[in-house]
Structures are given as C-alpha cells and as structure tokens.
C-alpha cells in the first residue's frame, strides 16, 4: 500500500470559543487520516486556547500561540512556515467540513494535476443555508483569467475553498498573505 500524502491544515484561532469544539471535531473525523493541524491562537482573550489544548491528545494536532495579535494574514503566514505536509489547506474555526473532504480533494488534485484546486461549499447562517457553486468547473486558467473570475465573483477569493501544494509556497516566498491590508484573500489567491 502506498503512503498517503499529508495535508497541513492551518487553523487561525481568535476568540472563537463558541464554534471551536464543533469545527475541530469536523477536522478530527476526516476519513483521510494523513493530516496535521497547525492551530495558531492569535492572542485570544476568551477560552479558545484552552479549548484547542484539549485536541493535543491527537498527535496530528499542534498548538502555537501568538503573544500579540498578528491578525489573520500574519497568523496564516506563520502557519505556512510551520507546515510540513505535501498540501496546505486553510480552515477557519467557524467552518465545518464534510468528513470525506480531504479524501476528495487529494484525489481530485492528483487526478486533475492542478497546482491549485478550488471547490464548492455551503454557506450557512442562523437564517438559512446557501449552496455556493463555482461557475468555473474543471478548467485551467492563467493569472489574468483568474483575476477576471475573482472580480466577477465567479471564483471565490476565500483561501479556505482551496487546496494547493505546500512546496509552491515554500519555494515562492512572495506568495503570502499581505499584512495590514484589506482584501488580503484576493491578493493571496
């Protein structure tokens, strides 16, 4: 049996005690077991850090703490530096994952031979769920086409809707989340 390739999941944590248990449980239940979770607490002032500590009994979960608030971009950038897997995936602690998501994503990125894989998601709130489907399906596009798709909202700029190879980021230090700027997701994608 061939070894499975590890997905690094970067979880940025800041004052999310209300959602954290449920979201981390959705990670823990993945059918694809070859993953590491880099949890980074961004100087939370609630019980988020203590909740995250409970997951350290699972060797795939690692917890780090920013002593000062670095914001989403700075924390995700730190996650890139700490990551060791073949793939990288960003996970917000108010999100939930289907239990077979990593299995599907790893199979699809290998099959498609893509550098970056975008996938559909279900957006929900207290009022109602909303299925968000990308208009672009199984298509390769260059930087100009990508920018046009992002600006036309046919492609989401949210990094948690993508899987990519970690070595692309490790080899290209310019691909990072810009710190102290608005719309950092668009710049990164």
Given this model, what pLDDT does residue 113 score? Answer: 84
Domain coordinates of the chain in residue numbers? 7-120+157-188
What confidence category does residue 167 fall into, taking pLDDT thresholds of 50, 70 and 90?
very high
State mean pLDDT over 92-116.
Answer: 89
Q: What percent of the chain has pLDDT over 70?
A: 85
- Output the six-digit token pair for 161: 């809707």
Given this model, what pLDDT does residue 76 score? Answer: 95
Given this model, what pLDDT does residue 138 score? Answer: 52
Domain covering 7-120+157-188 in this structure, CATH number:
3.90.550.10
DSSP string for residues in 78-116: HHHHH--SSEEEEE-TT----TTHHHHHHHHHHHHT-SE
What confidence category does residue 145 fall into, taking pLDDT thresholds of 50, 70 and 90?
confident
State mean pLDDT over 30-49.
Answer: 97
The pTM score is 0.86
Comparing 32-36, 45-49, 183-187, the range with the smallest average pLDDT is 183-187
For the chain, the average pLDDT equals 85
Given this model, what pLDDT does residue 151 score? Answer: 80
- Going by their DSSP bridges, the two strands 116-118 and 162-165 should be labelled as antiparallel
How far apart are alpha carbons 186 and 183 in whole angstroms? Answer: 6
State mean pLDDT over 22-34.
Answer: 95
Q: Is 65 left (phi over 0), alpha (psi -120 to 50) or beta?
A: beta
What confidence category does residue 4 fall into, taking pLDDT thresholds of 50, 70 and 90?
low
């Amino acid at each position: 049996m061939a070894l499975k390739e590890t997905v690094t999941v970067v979880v940025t944590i800041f004052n999310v005690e209300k959602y954290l248990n449920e979201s981390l449980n959705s990670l823990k239940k993945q059918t694809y077991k070859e993953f590491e979770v880099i949890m980074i607490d961004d100087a939370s002032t609630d019980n988020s850090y203590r909740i995250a500590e409970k997951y350290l009994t699972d060797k795939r979960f690692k917890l780090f703490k920013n002593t000062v608030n670095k914001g989403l971009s700075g924390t995700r950038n730190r996650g890139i530096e700490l990551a060791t897997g073949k793939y990288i995936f960003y996970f917000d602690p108010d999100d939930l994952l289907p239990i077979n998501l990593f299995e599907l994503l790893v199979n699809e990125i290998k099959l498609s031979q893509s550098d970056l894989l975008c996938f559909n998601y279900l957006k929900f709130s207290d009022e109602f769920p909303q299925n968000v489907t990308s208009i672009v399906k199984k298509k390769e596009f260059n930087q100009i086409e990508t920018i046009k798709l992002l600006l036309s909202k046919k492609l989401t700029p949210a990094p948690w809707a993508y899987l990519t190879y970690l070595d692309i980021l490790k080899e290209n230090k310019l691909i990072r989340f810009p710190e102290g700027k608005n719309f950092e997701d668009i710049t990164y994608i």
